[in-house]
Amino acid sequence: MSFFDNLFGQWGSDMAIDLGTANTLVAIPGEGIVLNEPSVVAMDNNTNRVLAVGYEAREMIGRNPGSITVQRPLADGVIADYDVTMAMLSYFINKAAPRRRFYQPKPRIAICIPCGVTSVEKRAVFEATLEAGARQVFLIEEPMAAAIGAGLPVDEPTGSMVVDIGGGTTEIAVISLGGIVTYRSLRIAGNELDEAVARHVRDVYNLSIGSRTAEDIKIAIGSALPIPTGELDMEISGRDLTTSLPRVDIVQSEDIREGIRNPLSQIVVAIKEAFLETDPDLAADIIRNGILLTGGGGLLKMLDVLLTRELEVPVYVSETAFSNVVEGCARALENPEALRRSYTQK
């Protein structure tokens, strides 16, 4: 720290944002992750005002009266509601921003949004981030950020493959020499698995459950293959479909596995196709380097084993599955080459 740094604070503090369909993370280089909240907004239908954002809004899901709408504005990897997305983004930026002193310049912000968005939406996020108080904005391609964050050798002449399974989208990319060589986005990911769990519990246990319970079940006992250490079960409560009364039941991991089989196989097929379409030289690199599985959905039990078996390529789960993207954005801010490649308007 120089004399002036001490006097003026860190000059032009930077900020990295992962605007995910399920969770938004904000990191400040040197400080690490300073915000990690669900991408959820609660609105008052009568006044159209934002009532709550993040954790506070998520607590309202399933408990809201008719006058309040609780939504995930990025639900399917696309911006379902522009104004609400922007309100959420500026709320998070302001919450995470270190208190600025009057002489401190605005931060530069590197932000990732789901890759499936249109160029109009990209531009919109870009503008909104500027409006929310950025001096300069860099939109980083999400798979690239995930790869940088996970420490893959993105700038080297070797192929790396990244599969990021989030809430709304599964994104598959092959990266080499600092660029994305092939890319594919699929609107089937964590949320779709939750819905499949809820449908199956309905059919098999005659029980109606909410989306939060379905997600809890998936995370606790869901698996892509039989669990070698023994199958699991879980006590849940829901509403009996016949009597309409609350009922407690015990669900088995075998049943949940059967329930998510269909959406899961669509994800597996897409990854397999993407790999098979990869140029042979890059494919040889990928066989040697393995495939990185990241994003919260990548943590599904036994998914890495299933993919390794199906693709005949080693697939490994990132230990930092939730934070790779925001970490990658933060590192990109320190890398002039990565910033030069990012989407930035003149």
User: Cβ–Cβ contacts within 10 Å for residue 4, how many?
Assistant: 9
Among residues 53, 299, 315, 338, the one that binds ligand ADP under rule CB under 6 A? 299
Among residues 72, 218, 257, 331, the one that binds ligand ADP under rule CB under 6 A? 218
| Cross-strand partners of 41 | 53, 71
Q: Please list, in sequence order, all residues whose beta carbon lies within 8 angstroms of the beta carbon of residue 115, skipping any fewer than 6 positions away.
A: 77, 141, 142, 143, 169, 171, 183, 185
Q: Of the listed pieces 52-60, 229-237, 241-249, 297-305, which binds ligand ADP according to CB under 6 A?
A: 297-305
Q: Are 333 and 131 in contact (CB under 8 A)?
A: no
* Minimal distance, residue 332 CB to ligand ADP, in Å: 17
Q: Is 143 in the site for ligand ADP (CB under 6 A)?
A: no
Q: Of the listed pieces 20-28, 95-103, 129-137, 251-259, which binds ligand ADP according to CB under 6 A?
A: 20-28
* Minimal distance, residue 13 CB to ligand ADP, in Å: 24
Q: Is 166 in the site for ligand ADP (CB under 6 A)?
A: yes
- Structure token digits, residue 272: 């397999």
- Structure token digits, residue 285: 């690199």
Q: Of the listed pieces 16-24, 60-68, 85-93, 180-188, which binds ligand ADP according to CB under 6 A?
A: 16-24
Q: What does the alpha-carbon distance between residue 238 and residue 250 come to, in Å, rounded to a whole number? A: 11
Residue nearest to ligand ADP (CB): 190
Give the binding site for Mg ion (CB under 5 A).
20, 166
Strands (DSSP E) along the chain, which ranges? 15-19, 23-28, 32-38, 41-44, 49-53, 68-71, 108-112, 136-139, 160-165, 170-176, 179-186, 207-208, 233-240, 246-252, 291-294, 315-317
Nearer to Mg ion, 204 or 270 (CB): 270
Q: Is 300 in the site for ligand ADP (CB under 6 A)?
A: yes
Maximum C-alpha span of the chain? 73
Nearer to ligand ADP, 201 or 300 (CB): 300
Q: What does the alpha-carbon distance between residue 146 and residue 109 come to, in Å, rounded to a whole number? A: 17
Q: Is 54 in the site for ligand ADP (CB under 6 A)?
A: no
Q: Is 324 in the site for ligand ADP (CB under 6 A)?
A: no
Q: Is 158 in the site for ligand ADP (CB under 6 A)?
A: no
Q: Is 92 in the site for ligand ADP (CB under 6 A)?
A: no
Q: Is 295 in the site for ligand ADP (CB under 6 A)?
A: yes
Q: Is 323 in the site for ligand ADP (CB under 6 A)?
A: no
- Structure token digits, residue 3: 């004399």
Nearer to ligand ADP, 159 or 166 (CB): 166
Among residues 14, 76, 141, 215, the one that binds ligand ADP under rule CB under 6 A? 215
* Minimal distance, residue 81 CB to Mg ion, in Å: 19
Helix-helix angle 253-276:190-205, to 10 degrees = 150
Q: Name the nearest CA neighbour of 129 among 89, 84, 159.
A: 89
Q: What does the alpha-carbon distance between residue 111 and residue 94 come to, in Å, rounded to a whole number? A: 15
Instruction: Give residues in contact with ligand ADP (CB under 6 A).
Output: 20-23, 166-168, 190-191, 215, 218-219, 295-297, 299-300, 322
